[in-house]
Structure 1
Amino acid sequence: MTKHHDLTGARYQKSTYSSQQGGSCVEVARNLPGIVPVRDSKDPEGPSVVFSPAAWTTFLKQL
């Protein structure tokens, strides 16, 4: 079952790993307690993938 999170108030920032030419653009919101939503900056009204803070940290360590 998919859990739905209230992302109202999420303040997204473009990742420093995103392309400046408008290609692979990822935005991350770090202001919501207990979750880290990630979305495609070219589709801001589209879905977000939501990580736990621990899972997000683990993901970043793999880069």
Structure 2
Amino acid sequence: MLRNELLTIIIFSGIVFILLGTYFHKHDQDSWVFNRAWMPVPEWIIYSALGASFIIIAMISILFAI
């Protein structure tokens, strides 16, 4: 039961991050996250990728749990 609730929370948080990335892409395109390693990255890409990775991790966990 707890595992299902945690996976649901992970999926919803992934959706929230993707929506946040979409908001930044439409309304604040000048916001940048500066990565010291190699290049600046737009903030909306960070949020969208984080949300997608949360959803992918949850889906992989569901596949292995079945």
User: Which band: TM-score by shorter chain?
Assistant: under 0.3
Which has the larger helix fraction?
2
RCO greater where, 1 or 2, for CA within 8 Å and sep 6 or more?
A: 2
TM-score (norm. length: structure 2): 0.22
